[in-house]
Amino acid sequence: MKPIDEQFKIIQRGTDEIINPDALKAKLKENRPLIIKAGFDPSAPDIHLGHTVLLRKLKHFQDLGHQVFFLIGDFTGRIGDPSGKSKVRKQLTAEEVAENAKTYKKQIFKILDEKKTKVVFNSHWCVKLGEEGLFDLASRYTVARMLERDDFLNRYKNNVPISILEFLYPLLQGYDSVVMEADVELGGTDQKFNLLVGRALQKNFGSDPKTIPAYLGKSIDTFRKDTAAPARKTYNFDSQIIITMPILEGVDGVEKMSKSLNNYIGINESPDNMFGKIMSISDNLMWRYYELLTDADHLMLKENVAKGKIHPKTVKTDLAKLIVSEYHGKDKAEEACSKFDAVFAKKENPEDMPGFFIDKEKIGIVDLVKEVGFAPSSSEARRLVEQMAVSVNEEKITDVKMEISLDKKGKILKVGKRKFGRIFRA
């Protein structure tokens, strides 16, 4: 394993907070593969670059020789994580959760090393809880500590309902840390409270085998069996280190990247779309993407741009190539780059206009607006056309049934005042 300071530097990059750094160093000094936990909500299985911030940090740990557990919260998912939510959430059915979990697994190994990743499902051990376990767990945490969480407190103070169920989520999520004997747990900054509950619960249970309740013993056995870990009689509930990662902004540079806000870059998107979207981001956002989505020395690059040694456009092109390479390979990235250059080199239209490649001869205007992400839904796209907010090659489209024929030259789609895109036949 690498020297501790070197490991620490890699781990620290891009993090929002480490609680606490000294304890992490002490754990690293033990010179053993640490148990790294990251939990994923199975209700949002479409992975975009925003999710990869965390996945890439897991990859760092993995590359450093630590044991990464990709935890699919299929049990907790039945409740739904209330973090940052302002209302009571709809519960998923067991079937929905199972389906989502499958989709998740398909995507993560584009970033993580499949051979070095253990994928676990918390339903495996949480079903051992029973009422007895749920009651015991609920007795180990107080209402006051739960209400210390910012969003809970705000909702309570503003009379926005918090269901009792939402108090159970952090407990179950923390219980996973106890069962997994996690050394480190990673999450987004919005997960900090949940991660701290895990830390507190580990302390609460203690590690004296005599005080381990039966349901916990059974849960640990299940987890060890799932991961083919040897059965032991000792437990390691040393409080886990917490690492929070920033929430990545979407291509608009304002809101967090999210599918519902249509400002995302999906990891399954075509090289051309991915490339075009990255080229469309602001220079400021470019540095953030560099730090959180690549391992390149962004500080040195930034210095060189500041000194005028490199043009920011070159740096952005390199970023787009780096990211596209990660998901599609170097060749596809170079190809996307050439295509992008060919299209944009000679055009006078809004700079950084993204290009969209559509594999059809013709497409209805409503479908087109939705397809490129300029409207979140068909009904919204229809509304925009009806309001005369949509034009193709500077001609207003008013007929929602209008078909647009696509070609290799490209047509300029404009929606509202700020959304531009060049549409090509793929």
**Which residues of this protein are in contact with its own copies, per CB under 8 A?**
75, 78-79, 88, 91, 126-127, 129, 131-132, 134-136, 138-144, 146-147, 152, 156, 159, 161-168, 171
Contact criterion met (CB below 8 Å) for 409 and 343 = no
Is the CB of 79 or the CB of 353 nearer to its own copies? 79
Question: At its nearest, how many Å lie between its own copies and the CB of residue 335?
Answer: 50
Calculate the alpha carbon distances from 301 to 13, 26, 318 in Å: 16, 33, 11
Is the CB of 173 or the CB of 263 nearer to its own copies? 173
Question: At its nearest, how many Å lie between its own copies and the CB of residue 270?
Answer: 40
Question: At its nearest, how many Å lie between its own copies and the CB of residue 217?
Answer: 17
Is the CB of 152 or the CB of 264 nearer to its own copies? 152
Is the CB of 205 or the CB of 327 nearer to its own copies? 205
Distance CA 96, CA 90 (A): 12
User: What is the phi/psi pair of residue 202, to 5°?
Assistant: -55, -45
Calculate the alpha carbon distances from 95 to 107, 108, 251 in Å: 19, 21, 33
Question: At its nearest, how many Å lie between its own copies and the CB of residue 113?
Answer: 34
Is the CB of 130 or the CB of 350 nearer to its own copies? 130
DSSP H or E run through 171: helix 164-180
Alpha helices in 329-377 (DSSP H): 330-345, 365-371
Backbone region of residue 23 per phi and psi (left: phi > 0; alpha: psi in -120 to 50; beta: other values):
alpha
Is the CB of 69 or the CB of 152 nearer to its own copies? 152
Is the CB of 136 or the CB of 371 nearer to its own copies? 136
Distance CA 233, CA 193 (A): 30
Question: At its nearest, how many Å lie between its own copies and the CB of residue 147?
Answer: 8
The two beta strands, 355-358 and 419-425, are: parallel
Tracing tokens 């006078």 back to the chain, one arrives at 348
Is the CB of 139 or the CB of 234 nearer to its own copies? 139
Considering Cα of 130, then 133, then 135, then 137, what sign does the dihedral take?
A: negative
Question: At its nearest, how many Å lie between its own copies and the CB of residue 100?
Answer: 18
DSSP 240: P
Tracing tokens 């676990």 back to the chain, one arrives at 120
Distance CA 259, CA 256 (A): 10
**Across the strands, what pairs with 244?**
17, 187
Question: At its nearest, how many Å lie between its own copies and the CB of residue 151?
Answer: 12
Is the CB of 144 or the CB of 342 nearer to its own copies? 144
Contact criterion met (CB below 8 Å) for 153 and 147 = yes
Residues near 425 by Cβ (< 8 Å), separated by ≥ 6? 357, 358, 359, 360, 361, 406, 407, 408
Is the CB of 147 or the CB of 402 nearer to its own copies? 147
The tokens describing 55, both together, are 């996945």
Query: What 3-state DSSP class applies to 271?
Result: helix
Residue 210 burial (CB count, 10 A)? 5
Residues near 284 by Cβ (< 8 Å), separated by ≥ 6? 253
Give the strand order in the sheet containing 67-72.
Answer: 17-19, 241-245, 184-188, 35-40, 67-72, 117-121
Question: At its nearest, how many Å lie between its own copies and the CB of residue 191?
Answer: 19
Query: What 3-state DSSP class applies to 275?
Result: helix
Question: At its nearest, how many Å lie between its own copies and the CB of residue 127?
Answer: 8
Question: At its nearest, how many Å lie between its own copies and the CB of residue 233?
Answer: 25
Is the CB of 88 or the CB of 412 nearer to its own copies? 88
Question: At its nearest, how many Å lie between its own copies and the CB of residue 384?
Answer: 37
